[in-house]
Amino acid sequence: MSKRIVAITACPTGVAHTFMAAEALEEEAKKRGHWIKVETRGSVGAKNALTSEEIAQADVVIIAADIELDLSRFAGKKLYKTSTGAALKKTAQELDNALTTQNTFKGNSASSSHAGKAELPGVYKHLMTGVSHMLPLVVAGGLCIALSFVFGITAFKEPGTLAAALMQIGGGAGAFGLMVPVLAGFIAFSIADRPGLAPGLIGGMLASSAGAGFLGGIVAGFLAGYSARLVADNVKLPQTMEALKPILIIPLISSLITGLTMIYVVGGPVAAAMSGLTQFLSGMTSANAVLLGIILGAMQCFDLGGPVNKAAYTFGVGLLASQSYLPMAAIMAAGMVPALGMGVATFVARDKFTEAEREAGKASFVLGLCFISEGAIPFAARDPMRVIPSTMAGGALAGALSMLFGCTLMAPHGGLFVLAIPNAVGNVLMYLVAIAAGTALTGLMYALLKPAMEVQEA
């Protein structure tokens, strides 16, 4: 029997998983004869937005999201929550689960967060919500700082110049100054909804001013979020005063708990840890740098946009605020390798791939150029035992070489297109060598490991 399905897809970066999961859901639903419309919450906002009429007529709502979303408009509907990765890799299974769900969504609160069986673990989802809101600031700030270097590496020190203005916009007084508060604020927002936002922002600002960096921001965000939720669940007021809780009681008490804890308990040790990490990175020997590059590169290529990949990516993004630009360069170099490598494999071993796979390889190569490692997912889903080791080997090599050559990166996204911005990438030529070496290793390794088509089909 034909069903009417509406869905939302959203991943932390709002680039690849968001749209690939939407396409997978649409194809699977249409193949079964169902009507479906998917709203994508990408990096440029909502596209293909659902109307109230479409929601009212829907038999089921699918939320494939790795970040927290406002779901209040779906109250009273059957709702199934999952991740973008599951929607992309296990589309048929997730659609079956959604169509058989008996969960009726009652509101947009923490207590309603179990309206589905495949929802992401809470801590990871809250962290990714914070990271997704922080990313635009990192990108804009990093590129503004890079543009200021066009006029000379120290030109920004001259007051009143355009270089100084660009540094002010991107640096501590502008985008980079907002990074940690926004990270903390939206972690808290994900946990406790709007009442958590103010204490999260305050805690993040305190972490930033204390020198605790992104580690302090993460601590402040979770502290603010869970303290706000604790107050919301345990402070009982007369019905006539209940409206004061979200705008007065919760923000005030949670801000005091978060602020005092950050100042007197957490701030100092976390700031010391952050300082130690920054000093370690800036004083790394070649051997240490290569080892870190191997670890970050392999993590970036392990699950192609999954939790391990995002952990490495978050680490690199967070360090940008501390002017540590080496890890981010290694991470982006490695992140380009899986999709580029699959494109190379389909070219050098054409006889081992079907025509459809060769076309997918071309698309994968283009996605790789854009730093979208998810382009390799169709290959990994079909042949994980050969694809994943190949991508990890290439990613580890790219990350190691990037660190060895001392390559730096000011912006956490954009792939090779960032090279068009002067000074956004340090040591450009050797950076290209690192990416090319990793790509070649992945492509050739998979081309050798993959059996011929007649053997595979037997």
Write the single-letter amino acid at 14: G
Write the single-letter amino acid at 402: S
Is 11 marked active-site? Answer: yes
| Virtual torsion, Cα 39, 42, 44, 50, nearest 10 deg | 10
Of 11, 144, 301, 407, which one is the catalytic site residue? 11
Burial class of residue 159 (count of CB atoms within 10 Å of its CB; 0-12, 13-18, 19+): exposed
Residue 39 CB partners (closer than 8 Å, separation 6+): 6, 7, 8, 9, 46, 47, 48, 49, 50
Are residues 440 and 398 in contact, defined by beta-carbon separation less than 8 angstroms? Answer: no
> What is the C-alpha end-to-end distance of the chain, expressed in Å?
36
User: Within the chain, what is the greatest distance between any pair of CA atoms?
Assistant: 75
Residue 204 CB partners (closer than 8 Å, separation 6+): 180, 181, 182, 183, 184, 185, 216, 217, 220, 221
CA distance 211 to 403: 25
Q: Quick check: helix, strand or coil at residue 236?
A: coil
CA distance 131 to 12: 7
How many CB atoms neighbour CB 246 within 10 A?
A: 16
Report CA 266 to chain centroid distance, whole Å: 26
Kindly calculate the radius of gyration of the chain based on its CA atoms and give it in whole angstroms: 23
Question: What are the catalytic residues?
Answer: 11
